[in-house]
Structure 1
Amino acid sequence: MSSRVSPFLQGAFTPLYTERTAHRLPVKGRIPPELDGLFTQIGGNPVAPPRRRGAEDYSWFSQDGMVCGIRLRDGRAEWFRNRWIRSRRVCRSLGESRPPGPRRFFTDVVNTNVVCHGGLLLALVETGCLPVRLSETLDTVEYSDLGGGLPIGITAHPKTDPVSGELFALAYSPLHTSADYLVITAEGTIRKTERIPLGGRPMMHDIALTEKHVVLFDLPVRFHLGQAARGRFPFRWDGRHQARIGLLPREGGAGSLRWFSIAPCFVFHAVNATEENGVVRIYALRYPKMFDGTSQDPFAYGACMLWEWTIDPATGKVTERQLDDHQQELPRIDPRRIGRPFRHCYGISAREQGLSTYEPEVLLKHDFARERTEERAFPRGSVPTEPVFVPRAGNGAAEDDGWILHFRIDALHHESDLVVLDARDFTGPPVATVRLPVRVPFGFHSNWIPDAELDAVGAGLGPPR
């Protein structure tokens, strides 16, 4: 067994083994008063130091979830909190009682994303376990099946339509060879469920949305029972499987789903999808291969690049092309442009090609109209996390009129900040920097929860439980 310490146990990924609460955080600069809400990050963080620290034994992807959050209001950083999701393992370690609610899977670890919808703040994972309902202060409330309507856990990246306010999601489990397509109303009730046969057990981390279709990715990363039985990360590359993209009409059923073959690849994250005159364009970050057993570092399989797939359902023609040569991940856009034409996309990158995903040192801003990319570089040892775009209020605001929020991790001095950037002055000085009381580990995903949505969470709104 290798004695080398996993890269996911050191540097910016070094786990945090305590929960903290701090109030009235120090601020350099000025927090825009329009930023009234909660900035969150969730990721894998073990509740206790792993007994086996070898690179082959530690999987960042299967660790218990830790949610970190900072509340902004009236130009102040009111509080910071970090909390573990109360899984069986966490409760056993902390000597606490398990939270209520069904799990529907043999593991109840939830660690991948946080969404707020219909008065519920939900932590998500795609293993099949149900979401975890959080309080507005990030404490675990319960495991939730949304009032009985959710058969299994939903994928980590449901999409909210900016016009209807409905949430479009895919619920699946690696134990099943089918998935459930769900439409959840703005009030949080499930109005549509359709069973989608898959003929296998693919990892389906993300979906995309157009004005008329839901876009599905069925790619060669598949669930491997033998790996799961040995307690290892259970998904592996299967080169025998034909990579394909599915187009499902929003109001359609399984019979209306069409699959289109593409070259072998893997996609963790879609950027967006658009539709014009029946032609669908899908923008996503493409890996040439993933999880073939040689490494748990995604960038070990080749650089992840921005690609476009164009599908004409009338002719069945599919074209594929690379749009940019930056190695990158964690793409974000203006949430008002989901499923609609868009111009800007943000993400993280590395200063040099070939560096691992645990060494990002650059933020990117793509401008598709001008076909250019701005880079915001950081000093060595200073690691930016997922950049979240928060639009300025008002329907007349331009697509990049708003702010970029992200955590910055100083891996050398074990410090972290919340950084607020002016999205239109992407390479300029920060608008504000908030010093955090602990070094926040690099996580999976970050999100911004506006004040109005937090009020609904605090009021206990949402569907009956």
Structure 2
Amino acid sequence: MTDTASTAAAEADAPPIYLAGHLAPVPDETEVFDLPVTGSLPPELVGRYFRNGPNPLPGEKLDHWFAGHGMVHGIRLKDGRAEWYRNRWVRTSLLDGHSWIADDGSRDRSVTPANTHIIEHAGHLLALCEGGLPYEITSELGTEGPRTFGGPLSNGMTAHPKEDPETGELHFFGYGSQPPYLTYHRLSPTGELHRGETVEVPGATMMHDFAITEHYVVWLDLPVTFDLALVGHSLPFRWNDEYGARIGVMARDGEPTVRWFDIEPCYVFHVGNAREDAAGRVVLDAVRWDRDTFRTSWSLLGGSKVHARHQGSAVSAVAETGHSTLHRWTFDLATGSVREQAIDDRGVEFPTLNDNHVGRNNRYLYAVTEQLTDVDSEAALIKYDTTTGTGELHHIGADRAAGEAVFVPAADARNEDDGWLLSIVSDRSGKGSDLVVLDAADITAPPVATVHLPRRVPTGFHGSWIPDTELEHVS
């Protein structure tokens, strides 16, 4: 057999990239107590770190990485010890085999993988996925069921709600393939749904994230749109050159009137933060994907049915296309102008910050270098100083992949970066995983502590640190 034929045969037998290596799902649920730790866990870390991500059932066929059933991985820390690790599927109606279509022909929003994020609000733990209702879970990772907050959520709930650090309100939205395409909601600090508004947009876009500031909501109306022809074959969204690209600024209070700013075509999965500057302008920092980078990566993850047969060429195309990079848009509400600028040219994703600065001035953002494939030899966590655009690196290594870095404020914090970063790091080969704890004020230093997990944790999506003080009323 020729080298070309051997390579083609190997590619034909290879699984899709999202079912192999550090992305591969695990086949079961488990729990282990008294985990080994290298270094010293800060004793003030008393709570649970939860991380959500897609994990199809054994043997289940998927057309896209994003479609797998949600599985939450949890690590319990207390008194300088790692008391336990456990993983559980979110027991959704989709996991039970229910159809997306209700008996009356409508979309059943309780049928969702609940696979993208997990947050706490008003004493409730919520597993989130933008396609449907949130699912409430217990502090031990049992599933309670879908939650509607006592009101209709016609378009579900984004996986990226924003809690205002001063008011305690939770801002979120839902989008759908039929009008109303976009709805805006707000929960009170105690969990009551007390605002719901339709926001007018021309079509069904895949709006994964948004932002808030002290006085505004920032909307991302970008050219990745619903395509009916893809229903039943994959996630039904594609890049749409005809849709255009714009970002909207809407007052948080009053009528839902949006001031729209046209921008260069791009897509944004994840926002770092937004704020109002001294001149009253709205400043948004987010990770920007250009057209070619988005389309090639979306294909690699299954969006265009690119699976094992073309995996090698698709990986090479991602490497050659470009990167998703940290970008800034500044919106002048007085003049109607917008300024766009790159903050950095390194490929990154999953931007996070000290949540006490959501919607307010922040100096630091944390991100993960792109590591979808093994072509990236600089796997690292990055700490950005957004005032200077500089970044400091904590190198992970080419043979490992880091998950989103969650910031935990120190108990005696005086500075924005006084605290810890938590990230699950996994071998690219799929051999094992660790929970790494870094000093956020000195990200270049070796880890403060490393919790050695009893099993591999697939590189997934988003998570939260939930201190015990926020779980007092959670069952």
TM-score over 0.5 (shorter chain):
yes
Q: Which residue does 1:405 correspond to in 2?
A: 422
CA distance in 1, matches of 2:33, 2:366: 30
In the TM superposition, what is the alpha-carbon distance from 1:178 to its structure 2 partner?
A: 2.4
CA distance in 1, matches of 2:376, 2:34: 31
For residue 258 of structure 2, what is the amino acid of its counterpart?
Answer: L
User: What SS class does the counterpart of residue 269 from structure 2 fall into?
Assistant: strand
In the TM superposition, what is the alpha-carbon distance from 1:367 to its structure 2 partner?
A: 1.4
Q: Which residue does 2:397 correspond to in 1?
A: 379
Q: Alpha carbons of 1:313 and 1:221: their partners in 2 closer, same or farther (altered >3 Å)?
A: same
User: What SS class does the counterpart of residue 185 from structure 2 fall into?
Assistant: strand
CA distance in 2, matches of 1:86, 1:231: 24
Contact 1:359 / 1:383 at 8 angstroms: preserved in 2?
A: no
CA distance in 2, matches of 1:331, 1:224: 28
CA distance in 1, matches of 2:375, 2:238: 19
For residue 120 of structure 1, what is the amino acid of its counterpart?
Answer: H
Query: Aligned residues: percent identity?
Result: 40
In the TM superposition, what is the alpha-carbon distance from 1:377 to its structure 2 partner?
A: 1.4
Matched, 1:42 2:55: no
Aligned 1:105-144 pairs, distance under 5 A: 105=109, 107-127=111-131, 129-144=132-147
Aligned 1:433-448 pairs, distance under 5 A: 433-448=450-465
CA distance in 2, matches of 1:357, 1:389: 28
In the TM superposition, what is the alpha-carbon distance from 1:50 to its structure 2 partner?
A: 3.4
In the TM superposition, what is the alpha-carbon distance from 1:357 to its structure 2 partner?
A: 9.4
Q: Which residue does 2:5 correspond to in 1?
A: none
CA distance in 2, matches of 1:275, 1:138: 38
Q: Which residue does 1:273 correspond to in 2?
A: 274
CA distance in 1, matches of 2:356, 2:385: 16
User: What SS class does the counterpart of residue 447 from structure 2 fall into?
Assistant: coil
In the TM superposition, what is the alpha-carbon distance from 1:45 to its structure 2 partner?
A: 0.7
Q: Which residue does 2:96 correspond to in 1?
A: 91
Q: Which residue does 1:312 correspond to in 2?
A: 332
Unaligned runs of 5+ in 2: 1-10, 99-105, 304-316
Q: Alpha carbons of 1:152 and 1:379: their partners in 2 closer, same or farther (altered >3 Å)?
A: same
Contact 1:8 / 1:358 at 8 angstroms: preserved in 2?
A: no
Contact 1:104 / 1:152 at 8 angstroms: preserved in 2?
A: no
For residue 392 of structure 1, what is the amino acid of its counterpart?
Answer: A
Contact 1:297 / 1:356 at 8 angstroms: preserved in 2?
A: no
Matched, 1:75 2:80: yes
In the TM superposition, what is the alpha-carbon distance from 1:370 to its structure 2 partner?
A: 4.1
User: What SS class does the counterpart of residue 66 from structure 2 fall into?
Assistant: helix
For residue 209 of structure 2, what is the amino acid of its counterpart?
Answer: D
CA distance in 2, matches of 1:295, 1:235: 14
Find 2:247's aligned residue among 245, 248, 259.
Answer: 245
User: What SS class does the counterpart of residue 403 from structure 1 fall into?
Assistant: strand
For residue 46 of structure 1, what is the amino acid of its counterpart?
Answer: P
CA distance in 2, matches of 1:120, 1:357: 40
For residue 246 of structure 1, what is the amino acid of its counterpart?
Answer: G
Q: Alpha carbons of 1:91 and 1:65: their partners in 2 closer, same or farther (altered >3 Å)?
A: same
Find 2:226's aligned residue among 202, 223, 233.
Answer: 223
Unaligned runs of 5+ in 1: 52-56, 94-101, 459-465
In the TM superposition, what is the alpha-carbon distance from 1:441 to its structure 2 partner?
A: 0.3
Q: Alpha carbons of 1:235 and 1:34: their partners in 2 closer, same or farther (altered >3 Å)?
A: same
Aligned 1:115-264 pairs, distance under 5 A: 115-127=119-131, 129-228=132-231, 230-254=232-256, 256-264=257-265
CA displacement, residues 71-115 of structure 1 (integer Å, 9 cap, x when unaligned): 11111111111111113353359xxxxxxxx98338422111111
Tell me the number of residue pairs that the alignment of Structure 1 and Structure 2 aligns: 439
CA displacement, residues 94-147 of structure 1 (integer Å, 9 cap, x when unaligned): xxxxxxxx98338422111111101110011111x1110000111111111112
Find 2:354's aligned residue among 329, 334, 351.
Answer: 334
User: What SS class does the counterpart of residue 194 from structure 2 fall into?
Assistant: strand
For residue 105 of structure 1, what is the amino acid of its counterpart?
Answer: R
Q: Alpha carbons of 1:106 and 1:33: their partners in 2 closer, same or farther (altered >3 Å)?
A: closer
Contact 1:177 / 1:199 at 8 angstroms: preserved in 2?
A: no
Say which is worse superposed, 3-12 or 256-265, in terms of deviation: 3-12
For residue 342 of structure 2, what is the amino acid of its counterpart?
Answer: Q
Q: Alpha carbons of 1:4 and 1:402: their partners in 2 closer, same or farther (altered >3 Å)?
A: same
In the TM superposition, what is the alpha-carbon distance from 1:297 to its structure 2 partner?
A: 7.4
Matched, 1:16 2:4: no
Q: Alpha carbons of 1:225 and 1:103: their partners in 2 closer, same or farther (altered >3 Å)?
A: closer
CA displacement, residues 270-298 of structure 1 (integer Å, 9 cap, x when unaligned): 11111133211111100002347744379
Contact 1:7 / 1:358 at 8 angstroms: preserved in 2?
A: no
Say which is worse superposed, 358-367 or 447-456, in terms of deviation: 358-367
User: What SS class does the counterpart of residue 26 from structure 2 fall into?
Assistant: coil
Q: Alpha carbons of 1:295 and 1:439: their partners in 2 closer, same or farther (altered >3 Å)?
A: closer
CA distance in 2, matches of 1:140, 1:387: 25
In the TM superposition, what is the alpha-carbon distance from 1:358 to its structure 2 partner?
A: 8.8
In the TM superposition, what is the alpha-carbon distance from 1:359 to its structure 2 partner?
A: 8.0
Q: Which residue does 2:439 correspond to in 1?
A: 422
Find 1:321's aligned residue among 331, 341, 358.
Answer: 341
Contact 1:221 / 1:291 at 8 angstroms: preserved in 2?
A: no
Say which is worse superposed, 364-373 or 69-78, in terms of deviation: 364-373
CA distance in 2, matches of 1:241, 1:4: 36
CA distance in 1, matches of 2:375, 2:173: 27
RMSD: 2.4
CA distance in 2, matches of 1:403, 1:330: 17
Kindly report structure 1 stretches of 4+ aligned residues shifted beyond 6 Å: 356-360
In the TM superposition, what is the alpha-carbon distance from 1:234 to its structure 2 partner?
A: 1.0
Contact 1:20 / 1:81 at 8 angstroms: preserved in 2?
A: yes
CA distance in 1, matches of 2:158, 2:437: 29
For residue 414 of structure 1, what is the amino acid of its counterpart?
Answer: K
For residue 109 of structure 1, what is the amino acid of its counterpart?
Answer: P
Contact 1:306 / 1:322 at 8 angstroms: preserved in 2?
A: yes
Contact 2:374 / 2:398 at 8 angstroms: preserved in 1?
A: no
Q: Which residue does 1:54 correspond to in 2?
A: none
TM-score (normalizing by structure 2): 0.87
Q: Which residue does 2:103 correspond to in 1?
A: none
Contact 2:21 / 2:430 at 8 angstroms: preserved in 1?
A: no
User: What SS class does the counterpart of residue 96 from structure 2 fall into?
Assistant: helix
User: What SS class does the counterpart of residue 267 from structure 1 fall into?
Assistant: coil
Contact 1:215 / 1:247 at 8 angstroms: preserved in 2?
A: yes
